[in-house]
Amino acid sequence: MATSTLTINEYLQVIPNQTLPDRVVERALGYYDVSTGILAFSVTEETRDLMEAMMWDAATGYVSGGGSTLKIDNRSMSESSIQATDGDKARWKANAARLRAKWGVVDFTETNAIYDATPYWG
């Protein structure tokens, strides 16, 4: 059986063709006490799933549009922001809910408790 060399940081980049900020990934790693850069499949499936749910939740907070361009002489380099439609955000929210439900974790929006949302601030 082949061994994966995928790191947990790479595993948590859930949005195709986009990169979530390192700070968002690091918050999930810290929340679940997982070291950065370790092999993704050395972490339990439950922990991977719950950290992934945090990534999907964080992604729903990104807005469409924006980005920046740096111009030097006749060259330019552009960095775009994550482009997300309302449909994308609904699917991402559903992905997060499905992963939490798999492990019996109640979504904070279904409770009346005060919730610490700082992990999703990016």
Residue 3 covered by a domain:
no
**Residue 32: exposure state from Cβ atoms within 10 A (0-12, 13-18, ≥19):** middle
Residue 1 covered by a domain:
no
In the chain, the number of structural domains is 1
- For 17-70, how does the pLDDT look when each residue is reduced to its tens digit (9 = 90+)? 888 999 999 999 999 999 999 999 999 999 999 999 999 999 988 765 555 666
Residue 43 covered by a domain:
yes
Residue 100 covered by a domain:
yes
Q: In 3-state terms, what secondary structure has residue 87?
A: helix
Residues in the chain: 122
- pTM, entire model: 0.75
Residue 83 covered by a domain:
yes
- For 62-119, how does the pLDDT look when each residue is reduced to its tens digit (9 = 90+)? 765 555 666 777 776 665 566 788 899 999 999 999 999 999 998 766 555 565 667 6
Residue 28 covered by a domain:
yes
- Domain of residue 55: give its range: 8-117
Residue 122 covered by a domain:
no
